[in-house]
Every structure is written in structure tokens, then in C-alpha cells.
Chains A and B, each alone.
Chain A
Amino acid sequence: GAGVSQSPRYKVAKRGQDVALRCDPISGHVSLFWYQQALGQGPEFLTYFQNEAQLDKSGLPSDRFFAERPEGSVSTLKIQRTQQEDSAVYLCASSLAARSEQYFGPGTRLTVT
């Protein structure tokens, strides 16, 4: 079956631009997670949804980062006024339930110039 998909796969933005990253989870998966992975590092948690409810956003680095999942399926991570330090791979994962195995998408590589 289809796994988690993310788009775009690559995004180049000029500093100050806004970007929107999309995640399509596995159908029927209740939980959805966003992670940020810097080069050579492990993924770091950003935020977590259960259905449409954002239950934990403690990992979002600043108020420039915003995530939504309005209908409990597709999620969008938006970054406003991008900065060079935002350059990273943004990973999305979904799971059937809160403590079930997470399935990761391929990520979106964001480069801010």
C-alpha cells in the first residue's frame, strides 16, 4: 500500500520567504508527527497531531513555524519569513495510534539562501 508521502521533495527559498510543506499520511492513521533533521543529526520532534487536534507543539523552534491538520488527514507545516537556520530536512511520520510504530515519509529538503 501507499506509504507516507511529502511534497515538495526539495524546496529552495530565499531568506524571508514563506514556505508550506505538505504531508499525506497513511490512510486511517490517527497520529501525525513532524520532525526537523539537520545535516548529520538525528530527527528532532516539532509537533504532533491526533486527528485534527494538535496535542503537542513544544518542539516548534519559533512562532514562525505553524502546523495544521484541519480534516485529520493531510497536514501542512508552514514556515514564515524563512531564515538560513531553517535549512534542514523536514520529516513527517504517521502512526495508527499514539503509541504505535511510526512510518516516516521521505522528507522535504529545505534550503534557505
Chain B
Amino acid sequence: NAGVTQTPKFRVLKTGQSMTLLCAQDMNHEYMYWYRQDPGMGLRLIHYSVGEGTTAKGEVPDGYNVSRLKKQNFLLGLESAAPSQTSVYFCASTPGLAWGETQYFGPGTRLLVL
């Protein structure tokens, strides 16, 4: 049981390049999330999904797109990377709305946009 995994762990992009971050979970969780973490800002929600085939915008969605074609995978795309997107990206998942259910986090992806 690997939990939540993220690919890649680290990436350097040039301004204008595109890339996709992959999040995979093997816990059969319904809900999945993408956050970004910047110094002094805590974690901020980019997009989330409440089930296969669904996505919704979070707090800071601009410049990102997501897809959830399979229940276990949640992809985060950057179509045209900007230096402001330099950050650490975390994926998380949770079974649903049950009391006390926390979110389970992946190890993070560090992205540097030059």
C-alpha cells in the first residue's frame, strides 16, 4: 500500500514550457486535491475533485488545469509555466465526508520555473 504518490519529485522548467504533475492513490479514495505551498503562505488549494470525472476550482486555480479520468489518478497541468508558479506542490486524498477523516498527503513535487 503506497498511499499517495507524486511524480516527478523535482522539475526545472523554462518560462512558457508545459508539464503535467501526476498524483496517484491506491486507497480507493473519492476526493483528491492539489495544493501549492509557498514560503510564509501555508498550503493553498488549487483544484480538487470529488469523484472520477469531476473537477472544481480551489482558491488559486489560475494558470492550472486538472483532470481525473481514473479514480486513482489526479493530474495537474501547467500549460505555459511562469516564474510565479515556482512552488512545492502537494497532492492529497480523502475517503469522503466521514467524521474525522483527514487528508492523506503525497511527498510533494518541487517545481522551479526559470
- Same complex for A and B? Answer no
Residues of A within 8 A of B (CB): none
